Amino acid sequence: MIKMLRHSDQLEIAAMVGIDPASDGLARAERLGVATTAAGVEGLIVLPGFEDIEIVFDATSAKAHRANAGRLAGYGTRLIDLTPAALGPYVVPAVNLDLHLDAPNLNMVTCGGQATIPVVAAVAEVAPVQYAEIVASIASKSAGPGTRANIDEFTETTARAIESVGGAARGKAVIILNPAEPALIMRDTVFCLVDAASPRRRADIAASVERMVAQVAGYVPGYRLKRQVQITPVADHPHTLVGDRAVTHQVTVLLEVEGAGHYLPSYAGNLDIMTSAALRVGEQLAARALEAR
């Protein structure tokens, strides 16, 4: 909501929907003149002007999204799913948004997926990625009940999207809830196993990753490389043979995501990258709809 109010020319907020009448978010929305309901999707459907709503952003949980999507199915609204429910195609704006602009339900994968899949895709543009593993470390304070309820869905959805969107032959995802005090900003590590025997290919991989990081930072300003791209030999690595494919090098990319601090704390980069990516998708859907009129 706040990102739309501050930054979006294409989207107009019709309502803020919650389930807790005492929610600080709903109170903030009311102070800003946004219509609200604490009755969930049922309250949204009966709001005046609901028939004019074209896009719904769902930031609940995987279980709740499945119910919400079913309830809204007959109304022609487009759903942007910020949960790992994965009912619709996986969408990572920097990688594949243009492929899914006509889908009724677009899935934003996970915070770890939004941070790391662009990097896997950037490596795969240069050299086939036989195996990709990502580790997302987020502040425990930034992991609410929805995130904690979705740990299994996080790992499964992210791993599938590493393969289907990132282009890896095999993918694995790990999430760490870091209890450190003071809270640490989101950190992500990407490991890719590739055949990069030639110095030219290694240079091309590093350059591709750097270009992709800049592209993601265009809609997530706090997204950045923590260190230079590392490409090291894997002669004695247990994954030297992945299936029937030989790999020669491991690509290691260290990232961090700092939140914009518009409403949530700046250490909550995991939440900021999801809302920023979802906003980019919503703006593209709106732009496409306006062009068609």
Q: What is the pLDDT of residues 259-271, one digit of tens each?
A: 999 999 999 999 9
Mean pLDDT of the chain: 94
pLDDT of residue 140: 97
Same domain for 281 and 260: no
Residue matched to tokens 């709740």: 64
Same domain for 98 and 171: no
Same domain for 76 and 29: yes
Same domain for 187 and 245: yes
Average pLDDT (142-171) is 94
pLDDT of residue 292: 86
Same domain for 207 and 63: no
Collapsing DSSP states into helix, strand and coil, what is residue 270?
helix
State in Å, rounded, how far the first CA of the chain is from the last one: 25
DSSP state of 253: E
Same domain for 190 and 261: yes
**Residue 116 half-sphere exposure toward CB, CA atoms < 13 A:** 37
Q: Look up residue 164 and give its two tokens.
A: 């289907």
Average pLDDT (272-283) is 97
Q: Single out the catalytic residue among 111, 196, 253, 286.
A: 111
Residue 66, domain CATH = 3.40.50.720
CA distance 271 to 259: 8
Domain total of the chain: 2
CA distance 285 to 10: 9
For residue 240, name the pLDDT band (cuts at 50, 70, 90).
low
Same domain for 29 and 125: no
Percent of the chain with pLDDT over 90: 90
Average pLDDT (156-172) is 97
Of 60-74, 201-215, 242-256, 269-283, least confident by mean pLDDT is 242-256
Percent of the chain with pLDDT over 70: 97
Is 192 one of the annotated active-site residues of the chain?
A: no
CA distance 197 to 220: 33
Residue 243, pLDDT > 70, answer no
Residue 213, domain CATH = 3.30.360.10
Same domain for 120 and 98: no
Q: Comparing 204 with 196, which gets the higher pLDDT?
A: 204
3-state helix, strand, coil in the chain (%, to 5): 40, 20, 35
Average pLDDT (154-168) is 97
The range of the structural domain enclosing residue 228 comes to: 111-265
Residue 245, pLDDT > 90, answer no
Residue 55, pLDDT > 70, answer yes
Same domain for 161 and 248: yes
Same domain for 248 and 119: yes
For residue 237, name the pLDDT band (cuts at 50, 70, 90).
low
Average pLDDT (21-44) is 97
Same domain for 231 and 130: yes
Q: Which residues contact 16 (CB under 8 A, 6 or more apart)?
A: 1, 25, 26, 29, 34, 35, 36
pLDDT of residue 146: 83
DSSP string, 90-157: B--HHHHGGGSTT-SEEE---HHHHHHHHHHHHHHTTS-EEEEEEEEEEEGGG--HHHHHTHHHHHHH
What are the two backbone dihedrals, phi and then psi, of residue 164, each rounded to the nearest 5 degrees? -80, -30
Same domain for 166 and 126: yes
Closest CA to 196 of 245, 128, 243: 128
pLDDT of residue 52: 95
